[in-house]
Amino acid sequence: MYQIDFNHPVSVFFVGIGGISMSGLAQILASEGFTVSGSDRSESAATRELQASGIRVMIGQRAENITDDIDLAVFTAAIHPDNPEYIAVHEKGIPSLSRAELLGQLMKNYRLPVAVSGTHGKTTTTSMLSEILLAANVDPTLSIGGNLPDIGGNVRIGSSGYFVAEACEYTNSFLHMFPGIGVILNIEEDHLDFFKDLADIRHSFRSFAELIPAEGALVINAEIDNWQEIAGNLPCKVLTFSTQEEADYYPSDITFDEWGHPSFTLHGPASGGEDTRISLHVPGMHNVSNALAAVAAADRLGISRAHSAAGLASFTGTDRRFQYKGVKNGFTIIDDYAHHPTEIEATLRAAKACPHDRIICVFQPHTYSRTKSLLPGFAQALSHADLVILADIYAARETDTLGVSSQTLQEEIKKLGHECLYFPTFGEIEKFLLANCRKNDLVITMGAGNVDEIGKNLLS
């Protein structure tokens, strides 16, 4: 495999450079003196930002974009062998890496690399740890799967040995990483278009844990069923956290403010004999769990508890994670990225702690395979809303070959005796909301697709 060396910068071409992770990696390499260019199928805010920073971006993917002076090509998972640039790279014999392989290669160039994994909560926990490191003023490099307002995007380029990145399990991407500290937030069924079953997913997380060197540490949720199977007999230090079970890190005296933001006393090792009071400005018990993981990782990095508390207090969320969008005709609009039953339930439970008369959830299912494999779970989770409105399934990388639709989910929800409506277009959903939402209703647009456009349209 090609090896990235910061001491020997080369010319790197990113195929699909406008992706949120790809654009961040491109910026990191450019900051290290690499000659960076790339292409994407269409113009976007990301491509415009890259161009403004001096990176050459071609709109449209063509074989002639691949020139002989390119030393390395990087591909997103969305690029297939019939892509003209993919074909040109291989015909010219240019070395290539996947996005995940490049991220792993970058990790090897940092002294203190942290990889945050899990079925849910990766972006939030990575952002929490990022805020802690920023509060400690250690000048970290950050690669986040969502936009963090305090860094003005999803990437921050620092000059120290601290590097924090998300580690996604889909297609086993995280197995290309070289973490000094690994975090496993949870392990559940998801991405069943790639994994065979839960046992297959657990096997991958065990393989991820085995990447951590003896001098490193694994931070793992003790609420994972039989977590010892994932973390047992590792050469590295293992630290557990939990909001419910006996663990190295746990909370007590949990209270919530009027918007469901929790405060709690954190108990754990390396605190100098003193427990720490933590106050969060994001809602829900799931964020208490995320905060415990972030503090455990920060402890291993040598960050003081005072800086951890300050960083967590300053964190107000990332884009599309229970994000307040505005008020229309007296009802409040929130947007959330939740696209798995566990995430949906956690978000709706958090919403119940917020001021509201009714919770109206506008849900856009993400991929046919996920909708079909987790159908009963989706119905149960969505039933925590007072009214569910379904949009069509966001296909993403798939085509409709599984015989499942939003109407299928609608029927499943109705079987539970719960009110559920379906509209085939965003326009019809917006028209319904404007006509039927009342003052003090809480409308949550939810999903990993483009459902957030509904809130934008209503507010505009």
Task: Tell me how far the alpha carbon of residue 105 is from its chain's centroid.
Answer: 20
Is 265:291 a contact under the CB 8 Å cutoff? no
Q: Are 23 and 147 in contact (CB under 8 A)?
A: no
* CB atoms near residue 231 (< 10 Å): 23
Is-contact 282 261, C-beta < 8 A? yes
Which is catalytic among the residues 85, 119, 122, 243? 122
Exposure class string for 201-229: b at 16+ Cβ within 10 A, else e: bbbbbbebbebbeeebbbbbbbbbeebee
Provide the angle, in degrees to the nearest 10, between the axes of the packed helices 375-382 and 406-415.
Answer: 60
User: How many angstroms separate the CA atoms of 417 and 382, rounded?
Assistant: 12
**Catalytic one of 101, 166, 189, 345:** 166
Active-site residue (options: 47, 119, 123, 371) = 123
| Dist CA 281 CA 267 (whole Å) | 20
Please return the burial class of 279, using the count of CB atoms within 10 Å of its CB with bins 0-12, 13-18 and 19+. Answer: middle
Q: Is 43 a catalytic residue?
A: no
To the query of whether residue 122 is one of the catalytic residues in this protein, the response is yes
CA separation for the pair 104, 155 (Å, rounded):
16
Tokens of 60: 């449209």
For residue 40 the two structure tokens come to: 């994407």
Q: Please name the residue that has the structure tokens 């113009």.
A: 43
Active site residue 439: no
CA distance 153 to 322: 17
CA distance 366 to 379: 14
Helix axes 122-135 and 285-300, enclosed angle (nearest 10)? 50
- Give the residue numbers marked as catalytic: 122-123, 166
